[in-house]
Amino acid sequence: MKRIALFFLIIIFALSTVYPASYEEHKVTVPLSFDYYSTYEMVVEAVKALHKTYPHLTKLDMVGKSEEGREIYALTINNPKTGAELDKPAIYIDGNIHGNEIQAGEVALYLINYLLTNYGKNDEITELVDKKCFYVIPVVNVDGRAHFFEDPNTSSSNRSLRRPKDDDRDGLIDEDFPDDIDGDGNVCMMRKRDPFGRYKTDPEDPRLMVSVKPGEKGEWTILGQEGIDNDGDGRINEDSEGYVDGNRNWGYDWAPEYVQAGAGDYPFSGTGIEAIGKYIRARPNICMAWAFHNTGGLIVRGPSTKAQGEYPQQDLAVYNYLGEQSERIIPGYRYIIGWKDMYSTYGDFTEWMTTINGAYSFVGELFMTSQEIFKSRDEEKKVRPQDEEDIMFGEGYVTERERLKFNDHLAQGELYKPWKPYKHPTYGDIEIGGWVKFSSRLSAPFMLKDMVHRNASAIIFSAKHTPEVSLDVFETKKTGKNLYLIRTRLVNAKAIPTMSYHAQKVKLYPQDMLTISGKSIKVVAGGKLTNIYRDQVAYKKFRPELQFLFIPGFGKVEHQFLVSGKGKVTIKYQSRHAGKIVKTITLK
């Protein structure tokens, strides 16, 4: 009897983690569990709880407020005992720049939780947190996340910043949202019986529709998303929130609305976007950035438009190393180029990070619907026939039969709403049904932890490869009366250089500096040691005590100085992205 009771308890727990009855049932406790999606309020509670639990490693900043007055929080992870945050290489991570992309925020939140709860327990994580600094904003579009949970939506709606806009140019603002006319908490699809319609019932699954062939009698017309004509202009759902796209509003290669929808009136016109931009600019030690989005299974690098041209070849080598390793960490994801393999974007966040801030940057596009599988091993080996009939449902043409089997047998029917009759004030007798808002672009909660862990691991890998520089005074010898030769070697053990090649090319900010100083000495000559075996040195004509440089990934730079005098000599290296190193030697 005990075994039977235990069995039923396991079954009940498994079913409860597919889709809980209400996300509000969950309490935020540290460590976080990641078997459900967090509301905006729960995310705020979570970052505050993590900060309270690990005050010696964290700093919580309220970066700014949104259009509707919600607070945008950033959590800094840094061990002050091993150095100030601005003196360490930093990694910036954010998510949920589009309101509906809630799982992107979960990746950022998981990374915080994982680093903090494993500090002092896992040697690699402890070393990483001691050496690096992490700046994490789990939710960029805080209004959007709040409204995604609070309001009826599709999985793709509610992306915009909450900046009112007259989409249909009728003098009214945001007056015709999609409507949850049947009151189930979702905005699904509407269909109407029509013998001249373009679709008929799928013979394999009556919940789906297939296109009619030429000469066939139709059965259904798709009416679009659930809604009514709120403003009486003869159109339905034509003026919802915004539309200002948070990922088209940044201050590089911005283009106005007639070029790209969602651009906003000008760069940084989004209240939260402007605040986050200022936050990032105040942290010049950021050399790596990850921004997480919703769906596709992609690791995306720039350029964001073809017109920008390709990045320098040396930067591409860095991107390829990190991107290809990330593909291995997250099976099924593809490492791609934004404009070439997806689409062009203007005013793009990661492009701003790369071109204006000199950081290497990736976008992580998360969930893949291809993971919603329900196949035997033999069925997995079969190749989809080229002439297999496409099935229409939702917002495009996709093969949906298998996704419904996944819904039926793994999500226990929670992802899909069966068609039900409804008397529409305009269309008359219709049916409403389809995929609910917590579907399609979102993984089922029982799949969430694997996804967030793998993506966080890709961040961790790139964080491990931010610059890590050592300074060695590898030769000191007397060459004459009160004249000494000093040779230094700076080694970067990681893949990311101390300054990107793009930043060098456009002189984005000063290079790293190596200085030699002392009260009783004078540097009479100094320069880069180009061939140690032949004693070849590219001496600097003026101010030889100050050398400008950068250190390639997995590379080294050597310098030679001639110093007159005796006593203590201070050798100092400082870099925007690789921190500071100071060594002292004594000339006798």
Domains of the chain are: 2-148+243-367+444-464 (3.40.630.10), 164-241+373-435 (no CATH), 469-587 (2.60.40.10)
Tokens of 449: 């932890």
Average pLDDT rounded to a whole number, residues 180-203:
95
414: left (phi over 0), alpha (psi -120 to 50) or beta: alpha
Task: Write out the H or E segment, with its range, that includes residue 40.
Answer: helix 40-53
What is the b/e burial string over 191-223, where b = at least 16 CB atoms within 10 angstroms of the residue's CB?
A: beeeeebebbebeebebbbbebeeeeebbbbbb
Token readout for 237 is 């759902």
Mean pLDDT, rounded, for 254-265: 94
Work out the angle at residue 21's Cα, subtended by the Cα atoms of residues 453 and 186, and round it to the nearest 5 degrees.
Answer: 90
Q: How far is CA 195 from the centre of its chain?
A: 46
Structure tokens at 116: 């903090």
> What CA–CA distance (Å, rounded) separates 258 from 35?
42
Position 120 pLDDT exceeds 90: yes
Q: Which pLDDT value is given to residue 324?
A: 98
- What's the pLDDT band for 384 if we cut at 50, 70, 90? low
Nearest to 364 by CA among 479, 283, 478, 451: 451
Q: Report whether pLDDT(588) > 70.
A: yes
pTM of structure: 0.92
Half-sphere exposure of 297 (CA within 13 A, CB side): 14
> What pLDDT is attached to residue 9?
41
Q: What is the DSSP string of 499-535?
A: S-HHHHHTT-SPPEEEEEE-TTEEEEEEEEEEETTTT
Residue 57 has pLDDT above 50, yes or no: yes
How big is the chain, counted in residues? 588
